[in-house]
Structure 1
Amino acid sequence: MKLNEIYFYMILFLFQIFSVIIITCSEDLKEKKYFFNYLKMALLMFSIGCFMEIINWNYLQNFECIFFTAIPLALIAIIKLITFIFKFIFKNEPFQIYRNELSDGIWVKNNGNFDRYKFYYSFYSISILLIPMFTLTLFYIFLFK
């Protein structure tokens, strides 16, 4: 394995770490200021992936590099959509739960009523975790297998 290949996989690994941060800190996406900060970072990552594909610095199949660098951008869109659907259907602000208590974002404090809406928050937390994973996995299988 050459040094270029190690750098390539390290960049992809760091982008996936950012994806995990997006999922665990999805409360930050509810405020426009932080949403646009996350969106700018994801667009930068996506453009880096496109640039890596253009200059042929890719050790994966064709366009897999673009797919993996677009995951943070797709996660932001999916999480915003899930939050919008939960607000629209249940007419209540959804909050994420972690270890049987309300989860905060990096910058945003969670202000939900845990005792009253425990099932609703649990359902939302499971949805935030599973829907993006299943969607992106099925999309990957559809595109590359």
Structure 2
Amino acid sequence: MSDLNIQVKKFADLSLQELYELLQLRSEVFVVEQDCVYQDIDGKDDEALHVLGKKNGRIVAYTRCLKPGYYFEQAAIGRVVVKQSERKFGYGHNIMKASDEAISRNYNTSHIKLSAQQYLIKFYESHGYKTQGEGYLEDGIPHIAMIKD
């Protein structure tokens, strides 16, 4: 059993502390660790479901889910992140499973699209996603579209 406490919240339901922690985690991994300068705060957070994975009260895993038609034709999962020191515990699998369930419960669909960093294809395939189309560069990092039906 995982010691990860998962919560799903709308933007308006996030505490200031949670918002700060999730933005800090996204910046820590996507900007600093991956050495990628990009606009993380993109105006979509207020329309998203935020899937928070907390350990000892701190956010260590996170995703952002968007309703069908908002970003892609399908529902979308993005900003999939696990704190580097916590990756050995399999929390990425926990947060993806919870994100799929949150989309099903809140948007009544299991048709989901995501933009995967290519080195994580096998990880997403283990959750039922299949690659779609050709790879592309997003913010200088190789990505590929993946779909779950």
More strand by share: 2
Greater radius of gyration (CA): 1
Higher relative contact order (CA 8 A, sep 6+): 1
Normalising by the residue count of structure 2, what TM-score does the alignment of the two structures yield? Answer: 0.28
More helix by share: 1
